[in-house]
Amino acid sequence: MKNILLIATGGTIASRPTEDGLAPQLCAEDILSCVPSLAELCHIDALQLLNIDSTNMSPDNWLAIAACVKENYFRYDGFVITHGTDTMAYTASALSYLIQNSVKPIVLTGSQKSIYDQETDARRNLFDAFLAAQDDALFGVMLVFDGRVISGTRARKMRTKSMNAFSSIDYPELALLRDGRILHYIRREKPTGLPAFYDKLDSRVFVLRLIPGMNPDVLHLLLPHYDALVIESFGVGGLPCYEQEDFLAAVHAWSAQGKPIVITTQVPHEGSDLGVYQVGARAASIPGVLQAHTMTVESVVTKLMWILSQTRDLNTLSQLFYTPVAHDLLRFE
């Protein structure tokens, strides 16, 4: 039997009704006691790291989760992290950069309904997460939800209420879980060597969603407060060139301070391609302007936080940004 560590952090799965709405109240042992069949699957130790709504999750919390996995890495065969669904995709992405080259499965899961709710998806998701965490063919950071195994860098919460809350964005699901069995869609080669753990993030990253007619002054206002800016632009990507070209001038101001700007898209699928239109190509020609290509916004944000904690040199930063980690960046060959 495999040894798996449960790291509980809160979320709906651990919630109960309170006077002012659902809030995490159940501890790791309460959660485990709702799925007695887990005892036949693997040996489980449980650790209560946090008990918060994931709306309150912060980069410091991501570092604490990564440190907890690091501290226990050689004692366990796999890890299950219970977590709120609202920011689970950000945590999955952040952990994919903070813990690299892991041969062991590190599985995030949660639920749309409390584990104490009659109609809950929690019991199934929890069982599936442990099934994935003790599987020999799965490894690295993953999210398990509604019978799907999704790579940590590709997950996105797509539905606020339905059980199939998460999708794998522009990348196949790694595996499917049905009736206690795993169907592997992708057989990936396991990493060799030791895992690499990182313990720093620079949280001074801002995401700006463009709307038609946006005043470019907002870029100047943000500049003193942030080390990187992610602009969710339109279509394959571009920046508005209104009559005075103020937008491009504001981007130049970031570039002059050695702060990167990453252009991504508001369109949910297929990523950016700045070379297609003049509005994109002109922006891309400004030093320090990068593009997301097929990376999700969750991955872009957390990758920037990880990279900025290591370097401020724009060339090194750009090299690291375009180096794929855990399937975050896919390109046509």
Binding stretches for ligand ASP (CB under 6 A):
11-12, 53-55, 84-86, 110, 112
**Spatial distance between the Cα atoms of 43 and 240, rounded to a whole number of angstroms:** 56
| 88 versus 283: smaller Cβ distance to ligand ASP | 88
Cβ pair 239, 233 in contact under 8 A: yes
> By C-beta, is 59 or 288 nearer to ligand ASP?
59
Q: Which residue's CB atom is positioned nearest to ligand ASP?
A: 84
Burial 304-327 (b: 16+ CB within 10 A, else e): bbbbbbeeeebeebbebbeeebbb
| Residue 59: CB minimum distance to ligand ASP, A | 16
Distance CA 283, CA 279 (A): 7
- Would you name the residues annotated as active-site residues? 12
Give the shortest CB-97-to-ligand ASP separation in angstroms. 21
**Residue in 331, 252, 261, 320 with CA at minimum distance from that of residue 294:** 331
The nearer residue to ligand ASP, 60 or 333, going by C-beta atoms, is: 60
| Residue 45, SS3 per DSSP | strand
Eight-state DSSP code of residue 123: H
| Contact in structure between 8 and 48 (CB atoms under 8 Å) | yes
Nearer to ligand ASP, 55 or 192 (CB): 55
